[in-house]
C-alpha cells in the first residue's frame, strides 16, 4: 500500500465516520427501546381488552362472513375496508369507514380520522373492543409517546421520506467507515497481536486501541445492521417502483371499472380459503376490499406470508375476483422487495426470541461505546495533521511503500 493510498483510506474513514456519528448515535439509542417495545408495552400499559370467552380447546372459528355481517349490522351506512385475523389472539379485526373517499380526504387532514375498527372474538363472532369515536381519540400514554418518538427518530427524524432517505445515506456512510476502518486496522495490526491494547503508552493510545478492538469485534454485526438499515430506508421508493410497474400492469385491465358494491360481493371466508390454496405453506394475514388504495375496484386483495420466522417477512399478494370468488392470480414480489423484506429480521433481530434481542442490545451498546470513543479521540486530536497522526500510530510514511515501524 503506497503512502498516497494510505492517506486516502485514512481521510475516507475520518470523514465518513464524523459525518454519520451523531445520527448513528440517535439510531443506536432509539433502537434499544424498539428492540423491547412489546415487553415495555406489556409492562407499563398492559392489555385492556375484556377477557375472551372460555371455550373448549379446539373450538373452531366462526365464519368470517358472519363477522363481517355483524360489523355491517353495527354500522350499516359504512363500508368494510379490511379484515385481519390476529396473530397472537383468537381475534379478528374489521376496519370500516364512511366511504373510500372519506379515507382519501383524511390524508389531506392529519387530525381527521374517519376510519375505525372493531375487534371480534374469532370463535364467537362477538365484539370484544371497538376504537373510540373519531371526535374522542384514545388518550395517549407516556409509553406510547416515548415508543412512537423513538420509532420516528430511528426511521426518519420526523422528516418523512426526505428524512428516511437522509438516514439511508447515513447508513451508507457508516458502511464506508467500517470498510475503511478495517483496511487501516489490518495494516496497523501487522506488528501487534490481534486485539492488543497498549496500556503502557499514552492514555490516548489506550483509548485508540480499545476503539479499534471494539470496532473489530462488532464489525460483522455492524456491517449487517448498517447495510440492512440502509436497505430498509429505501422501502418507500422501492414499493413505489413496484406499484408503478408490476402492480399497474397487473391491474391495468380493471383500472376503469367501477368499484364493486359491497352488498353484491362474494364470500370473504371463501376468498381466504382460495388464497390459502393458491399459496401452500403460507398463512393469510389479511384481506382488503375492492376499492382499496393500490388495489383493484373488483378484487379482494389478500396478503399471505411464510410460516417460519425468516419467511414471515416475505409477503405475496393474491387477487380473488370479488364478483365471482374465483382466483385471478398470485403475484410474488420482485427480487428487490424480497431482498428488502428478508433484510428486516436481520436488522431488528426479531426472529430468534429474547436471547437474540439481548445479544442485539449488547452489541448495540458496544457500538455506542465505539461511536462515543471515536468522537472523543477526534476532538482531542482534531488539529493534528494526518501524516503526524499516522506516524504516531506506527506508520513509516518516508518510504514509497508504507511499512510498519517497530512499536516500542
Q: pTM of this prediction?
A: 0.81
Looking at the structure, tell me whether residues 326 and 372 fall in a common domain.
Answer: no
Question: Same structural domain for residues 267 and 332?
Answer: yes
Say if residue 174 is in the same domain as residue 131. no
Q: What is the structure's pLDDT at 65?
A: 97
Same domain, 316 and 244: yes
Chain segment 243-302, per-residue pLDDT in tens: 889 998 999 999 899 999 998 899 999 999 999 999 988 999 999 999 998 789 999 999
Within-domain flag for 46: no
Name the domain count of the chain: 3
**156 and 17 in a common domain:** yes
Taking the alpha carbons at both ends of the chain, their separation in whole angstroms is 23
Q: Which residue has the cell 391495468?
A: 252
**Residues 242 and 306 reside in one and the same domain:** yes
d(CA 313, CA 128): 28
Most confident of 328-332, 341-345, 382-386: 328-332
Answer yes or no: is 135 within a domain. yes
The answer on 237 and 163 residing in a single domain is: no
Last-in-domain residue among 330, 345, 360: 345
Residue 174 covered by a domain: yes
Residues 244 and 340 in one domain: yes
Q: What average pLDDT does the structure give for the chain?
A: 85
Specify whether 154 is located in the same domain as 9.
yes
Same domain for 242 and 338? Answer: yes
Say yes or no: 131 and 100 in one domain.
yes
Asked which of 345, 363, 388 is the last residue of a domain, the reply is: 345
- Between 135 and 328, where is the model more confident? 328
Domain check: are 283 and 237 in the same one?
A: yes
Which of 140, 158, 188 terminates a domain? The answer is 140
Q: Which domain holds residue 381?
A: 3-24+150-213+352-404
Is 50 part of a structural domain of the chain? no
Confidence of residue 103 (pLDDT cuts 50, 70, 90): confident
Q: Can you tell me the distance from the alpha carbon of 21 to that of 372, in angstroms, rounded to the nearest whole number?
A: 8
Torsion of CA 215, 218, 220, 221, to 10 degrees: -130
Among 292, 320, 315, 313, CA closest to 303: 315
120 φ, ψ to 5°? -110, 150
Q: CA-CA distance, 99 to 156, in Å (whole number)?
A: 31
Residue 49 lies in a domain: no
Q: Is residue 39 part of a domain?
A: no
Sign of the Cα pseudo-torsion (181, 184, 190, 193, in order): negative
Domain membership flag for residue 220: no
What's the rounded Cα separation, in Å, for the pair 236 and 248?
16
Task: Please choose, from the candidates 275, 371, 382, 263, the residue with its C-alpha nearest in 3D space to the C-alpha of residue 331.
Answer: 275
Residue 128 within a domain: yes
Amino acid at each position: 500500500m503506497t503512502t498516497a493510498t494510505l492517506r486516502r483510506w485514512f481521510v475516507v474513514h475520518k470523514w465518513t465516520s464524523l459525518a454519520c456519528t451523531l445520527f448513528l448515535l440517535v439510531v443506536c439509542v432509539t433502537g434499544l427501546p424498539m428492540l423491547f417495545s412489546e415487553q415495555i408495552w406489556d409492562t407499563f400499559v398492559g392489555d385492556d381488552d375484556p377477557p375472551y370467552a372460555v371455550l373448549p380447546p379446539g373450538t373452531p372459528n366462526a365464519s368470517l362472513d358472519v363477522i363481517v355481517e355483524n360489523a355491517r349490522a353495527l354500522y350499516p351506512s359504512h363500508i368494510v375496508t379490511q379484515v385481519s385475523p390476529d396473530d397472537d389472539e383468537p381475534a379478528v379485526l374489521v376496519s370500516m369507514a364512511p366511504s373510500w373517499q372519506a379515507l382519501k380526504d383524511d390524508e389531506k387532514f392529519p387530525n381527521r380520522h374517519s376510519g375505525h375498527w372493531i375487534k371480534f372474538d374469532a370463535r364467537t363472532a362477538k365484539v370484544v373492543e371497538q376504537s373510540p369515536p373519531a371526535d374522542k381519540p384514545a388518550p395517549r400514554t407516556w409509553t406510547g409517546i416515548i415508543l412512537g418518538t423513538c420509532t420516528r427518530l430511528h426511521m426518519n427524524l420526523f422528516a418523512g421520506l426526505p428524512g428516511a432517505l437522509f438516514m439511508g445515506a447515513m447508513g451508507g456512510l457508516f458502511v464506508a467507515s467500517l470498510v475503511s476502518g478495517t483496511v487501516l486496522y489490518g495494516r496497523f495490526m501487522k506488528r501487534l497481536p490481534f486485539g492488543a491494547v497498549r496500556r503502557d503508552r499514552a492514555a490516548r493510545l489506550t483509548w485508540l486501541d480499545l476503539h479499534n478492538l471494539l470496532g473489530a469485534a462488532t464489525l460483522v454485526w455492524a456491517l449487517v445492521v448498517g447495510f440492512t438499515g440502509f436497505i430498509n430506508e429505501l422501502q418507500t421508493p422501492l414499493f413505489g417502483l413496484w406499484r408503478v410497474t408490476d402492480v399497474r400492469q397487473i391491474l391495468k385491465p380493471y383500472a376503469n371499472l367501477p368499484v364493486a358494491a359491497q352488498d353484491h360481493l362474494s364470500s370473504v371466508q371463501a376468498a381466504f380459503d382460495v388464497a390459502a390454496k393458491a399459496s401452500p405453506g403460507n398463512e393469510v394475514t389479511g384481506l382488503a376490499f375492492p376499492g382499496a388504495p393500490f388495489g383493484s375496484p373488483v378484487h379482494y386483495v389478500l396478503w399471505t406470508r411464510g410460516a417460519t420466522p425468516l419467511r414471515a417477512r416475505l409477503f405475496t399478494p393474491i387477487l380473488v375476483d370479488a364478483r365471482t370468488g374465483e382466483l385471478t392470480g398470485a403475484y410474488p414480489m420482485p427480487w428487490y422487495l424480497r431482498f428488502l423484506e428478508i433484510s428486516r429480521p436481520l436488522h431488528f433481530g426479531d426472529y430468534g426470541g429474547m436471547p437474540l434481542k439481548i445479544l442485539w442490545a449488547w452489541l448495540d451498546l458496544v457500538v455506542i461505546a465505539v461511536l462515543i470513543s471515536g468522537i472523543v479521540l477526534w476532538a482531542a486530536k482534531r488539529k493534528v495533521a494526518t501524516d503526524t497522526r499516522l506516524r504516531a500510530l506506527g506508520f513509516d510514511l518516508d518510504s514509497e511503500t508504507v511499512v510498519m515501524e517497530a512499536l516500542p
